[in-house]
Chains A and B, each alone.
Chain A
Amino acid sequence: MRTVDWQAILWFARNMRKILILISAFALLASPVLARDTGRIFVSNEKSHDIHVFDAEYNLIKKIATSRRPRDMKLNAARTLLFVACGDDDIIDIIDVETLEVVDGIPTGPSPEVFEFSLDERYMYVSNEEDSMMEIIDLESRITIHNVPTGAEPEGLALAPEGDVIYVTSEVADMVHVVDAAAGVVTDNIIVGTRPRRFVITPDTNELWVSAELSSEIYVIDRASNEVTSVLEFLPPGFRPEDVTPVGMTLTRDGSVGLISLGRANHVAVIDAHSKEILAYVLVGRRAWSVALSRDEKTAVVANGLSDDITLIDMETYRPIRSIPVGRVPHTVVIDD
């Protein structure tokens, strides 16, 4: 008996690798619907024309080649498809989140940068940087049903939670256009700071925040009146006001904490979203841009455009955990969890 035991142990030891591979292969086969809540992190890279996909433990699992210059990304509501605006090929690539392959594409106007879906996912709203238009695309027929003229270089785009209004920034005209989603016309214009970039709408739906990259400010707009109610400024230690170039923003689901990337000041500002008080400055990589929160809100991920990496931030201590290299000029981070 003793000898048999020994042989069995030796056999297991010798074939440990194979056994483990077999077990994991079975596990994979047994759970074909891995896509949802995978905790996968997608990072679009403008200059290497690909998306880096990391698993929940931050291991690189795939580089998906896309059309040229992938920028903004959004998951559909079912979290089965990832849409990617590819600025140099005038297309929005569609990636199957399960197979991690590009499966389809929606042609757009010149240089799509940021986009949103309508609440029923029938329409897509796209800012076209090159021809100063926000286009409304019918997703079924793939026909552009409206071209809304905007100021030069439209970028940031946000859909009101009610679905009736779209906000678009014009980087050159320093303003926010308020667009009636159904009629496709600009109904109001709000003048903000220099080079307005991105939006975030507070969960209580009362406030619209706009980052003004080159005047180093966040404009807080009252959504009922479309008036600017306050202007936030930031200054991490050791930096000049003009180094602060805020772009990306995100809020916790309860609307209590806001994260704002400060661009060339290489920090992310953490603020109390109600009192607008600054809670912390977190040192990240160079030219911090897009910032995303994991669903458990324990970790934030920041894309650093000039150091070609992402930085993970621990949301309990507001400290950086580590940075992970990605492709050239990372633009947007999407977390599927």
Chain B
Amino acid sequence: MRSLIFLFFTFFALPLYAQDIHLGLLRLQNDPRFDEDFTYARIELRAQGDVLAAIEMAINDMKVITDARGLSVVLSEAKVAADGLIQAAQNMLALGVTHLIMDLPGDEVDTMATSLAGSNVVLLNTTAPEDWLRSKCHPNLLHTAAGDRMIADALVQHAMFHKWRDLLVLRGKTDRDNLRADSFVQAAERFRLRIVDDREFDLSTNPALREQNNISLITGGRRDYDAVYIADEIGEFARYVPYQVARPRPVIGATGLVAAEWHWALERYGAPQVNSRFERLSTGNRRMSWQDWSAWMATRAVLTAFTKSPDPAMEAVNAYLRSDRLRLDGSKGKQMNFRPWSGQLRMPILLATHNAIIEIAPLEGFLHQINSLDTLGYDEKEFICDE
């Protein structure tokens, strides 16, 4: 094996040193998902800030172990417009980047995975939750953002646990809202929860649309329900719904009880240390968002594979990264690794209010024949790759 690696290096004369780990980070300039114009009156509806801080934190966290292994980590990063992404990625590959972390919307991730299919680079999706992206089964793509269905399953487990059997669904008009709401409906139906109605809301004050924009009316009607689920990516509508629901019922989904990869209020499993390290390192000492956590995890996964793989050859490192021998700690109390069928990181999902962790899914009693984390999201048997 040793001679084989030697041959590999002499023949191909790679432009990087054997002991370097070269990571890349790509973000979108003016990413619409972080558009501040949506945050009317300077109220922050969604996480702002750069995941770069999280990646640097992960490199820093792992420095002792990479140093001990004689590995040095190099990070190349770029923030470019959508039409310059592929060029930027190719520039990084030319520099020797072997693992490329992406903070990009789903469509861009898909394009990147397709156009870089010929290279050996491993791509890590940190912020696109779309399940159709997982179903594309790009062999070069791993996901550390939770899929929409994982988020939906976490909420449905909570609804089941509390016997909220009848649910009212409110959804926005955007594609993202429809994907979120559809995956929630699917997850709810699997557990035989009843969707009493599925209504589209409108942000205007147009009196002709009052059935859609008046909260009393959109949550009214003759049929009772146990909880209101809202799919609202921007959050502009959702934030007005609690305390105005026509019946006194809890609100979940986009506000109230929210499911996500990470929340600053997690108090167990070493999470307070992760949060305070992040707050210290990030510009503006901001709180760690789920996007930051996913980027932190992606970096840690790659660095862990490099340091723990018994064989330092790149193929062996990448095989280790995808294997169940990878036992990642994401400070959520469970070991994590990637699902071989979808490249999705299996993980616990936090169910949080604005300042408390109510539950961590999978909830007690939701069991699985192999790994209880696979009760969240598409399991092997229901997962189908697109042709």
The chain A residues found within 8 Å of chain B, CB to CB, are 111, 129-130, 150-153, 170-175, 177, 189, 191, 193-195, 213-216, 240, 242, 245, 264
Which of A129, A153, A242 touches B334 (beta carbons < 8 Å)? A242
The smallest C-beta distance from B244 to any residue of chain A, in angstroms, reads: 35
Give Cα A329–Cα B239 distance, bound, in whole angstroms: 34
The smallest C-beta distance from B300 to any residue of chain A, in angstroms, reads: 8
Give Cα A101–Cα B64 distance, bound, in whole angstroms: 41
**CB distance B372 to A173 under 8 Å?**
no
Q: Fill in one digit per residue for B58-75: 1 if any A CB lies within 8 Å of its CB, else 0.
A: 001111110011000000
**Closest A-chain residue to B62, C-beta based?**
A173
Give Cα A172–Cα B277 distance, bound, in whole angstroms: 12
Interface residue ranges of B337-362 to A (CB < 8 Å): none
**CB distance B68 to A175 under 8 Å?**
yes
User: Which residues of B sit under 8 angstroms from A150, Cβ to Cβ?
Assistant: 64
The chain B residues found within 8 Å of chain A, CB to CB, are 60-65, 68-69, 270, 273, 276-277, 304, 307-308, 327-329, 333-335, 371-373
The smallest C-beta distance from A167 to any residue of chain B, in angstroms, reads: 14
User: Which residues of B sit under 8 angstroms from A214, Cβ to Cβ?
Assistant: 327-329, 334-335
Given A191-B307, A194-B327, A240-B372, answer yes or no on A151-B65 (Cβ-Cβ < 8 Å): yes
User: Which residues of A sit under 8 angstroms from B327, Cβ to Cβ?
Assistant: 193-194, 214-216
**Closest B-chain residue to A264, C-beta based?**
B333
**CB distance A191 to B65 under 8 Å?**
yes
Mostly, the B contact residues are helix
**CB distance B65 to A175 under 8 Å?**
yes
**Closest A-chain residue to B60, C-beta based?**
A152
Which of A129, A151, A242 touches B61 (beta carbons < 8 Å)? A151
Give Cα A245–Cα B329 distance, bound, in whole angstroms: 12
User: Which residues of A sit under 8 angstroms from B308, Cβ to Cβ?
Assistant: 174, 191
Q: A151-B65, A173-B63, A194-B329 are in contact. List 18 more A-B contacts (CB 8 A).
A: A111-B273, A129-B273, A130-B277, A150-B64, A151-B63, A152-B60, A152-B64, A152-B277, A171-B270, A191-B308, A195-B270, A195-B329, A213-B329, A214-B328, A214-B329, A214-B334, A215-B335, A264-B333
User: Which residues of B sit under 8 angstroms from A240, Cβ to Cβ?
Assistant: 371-372
User: Which residues of A sit under 8 angstroms from B69, Cβ to Cβ?
Assistant: 191
The smallest C-beta distance from B320 to any residue of chain A, in angstroms, reads: 13
Given A191-B65, A194-B329, A214-B334, answer yes or no on A242-B270 (Cβ-Cβ < 8 Å): no
**CB distance A242 to B329 under 8 Å?**
no
**CB distance A194 to B65 under 8 Å?**
no
The smallest C-beta distance from B349 to any residue of chain A, in angstroms, reads: 16
Given A150-B64, A191-B68, answer yes or no on A130-B276 (Cβ-Cβ < 8 Å): yes
A-B contact pairs, 9 of them (CB 8 A): A171-B329, A172-B270, A174-B65, A174-B304, A175-B64, A189-B64, A194-B335, A215-B335, A242-B373
Most buried by A among B273, B276, B304, B371: B273
Give Cα A242–Cα B373 distance, bound, in whole angstroms: 10
The smallest C-beta distance from B336 to any residue of chain A, in angstroms, reads: 9
Give Cα A240–Cα B373 distance, bound, in whole angstroms: 11
